[in-house]
């Protein structure tokens, strides 16, 4: 709507409706508010190799996980690492690993990320032996790595792999 205002010559002004002004202010505040936090995670590479001749040795689990902090800085730690026999159903066999996350930032088990920051971490087996995995040889499995934030949020990254055996 155009209005002529005395003293302004022929310069038209746009009249702002009070409701529209309140709505735009509310939307602006909502957009500037806290973005949801949490993390996103994806398996970039995952492999599991069982060496039958070394039953008491640790199986070789090597996983690279890409992590990104979404709307705020995050502190991320390793939750759990599991394999589930495919096809994945409620009745599928599952095995949980004792594992550790290798922090590229140092020896701290917690990875600290700035808002929007991305980082790759490695996850390795630290307690599951070749004997524990002998029955899984050559089976297709879903590998799942669950990461946790200090705020209690979780993200699970998965990959479909086949357990390799030597």
Domain spans of the chain, in order of start? 2-32, 39-165
pLDDT digits (tens, 9 = 90+) for 143-163: 999 999 999 999 999 999 999
pLDDT of residue 34: 52
Stretch 71-87: mean pLDDT: 97
pLDDT > 90 fraction of the chain, expressed in percent and rounded? 76
94 bridge partner residues: 84
pLDDT digits (tens, 9 = 90+) for 24-62: 444 444 444 455 789 999 999 999 999 999 999 999 999
Are residues 50 and 130 in contact, defined by beta-carbon separation less than 8 angstroms? yes
Q: What angle do CA 77, 83, 86 make, to 5 degrees?
A: 140
Q: How far apart are CA 69 and CA 90, in angstroms?
A: 31
Q: What class has domain 39-165?
A: mainly beta
Stretch 101-107: mean pLDDT: 92
pLDDT of residue 35: 57
Stretch 5-15: mean pLDDT: 45
- Higher pLDDT: 43 or 106? It is 43
- Closest by CA position to 145, among listed 164, 122, 116, 165: 122
Stretch 85-99: mean pLDDT: 96
Which residues are CB-contacts of 16 (< 8 A; sequence separation ≥ 6)? none
Stretch 71-98: mean pLDDT: 96
């Amino acid at each position: 709507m155009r209005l002529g205002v005395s003293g302004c010559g022929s310069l038209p002004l746009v009249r702002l409706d009070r409701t529209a002004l309140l709505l735009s202010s509310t939307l602006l505040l909502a957009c500037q508010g806290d973005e949801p936090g949490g993390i996103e995670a994806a398996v970039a590479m995952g492999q599991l190799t069982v060496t039958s001749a070394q039953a008491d040795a640790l199986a070789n689990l090597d996983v690279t996980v890409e992590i990104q902090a979404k709307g705020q800085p995050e502190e991320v730690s390793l939750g759990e690492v599991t394999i589930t026999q495919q096809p994945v159903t409620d009745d599928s066999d599952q095995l949980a690993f004792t594992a550790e996350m290798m922090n590229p930032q140092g020896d701290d088990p917690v990875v600290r990320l700035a808002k929007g920051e991305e980082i790759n971490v490695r996850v390795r087996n630290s307690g599951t032996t070749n004997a524990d995995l002998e029955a899984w040889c050559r089976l297709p499995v879903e590998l799942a790595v669950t990461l946790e934030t200090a705020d209690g949020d979780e993200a699970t990254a998965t990959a479909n792999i086949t357990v390799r055996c030597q």
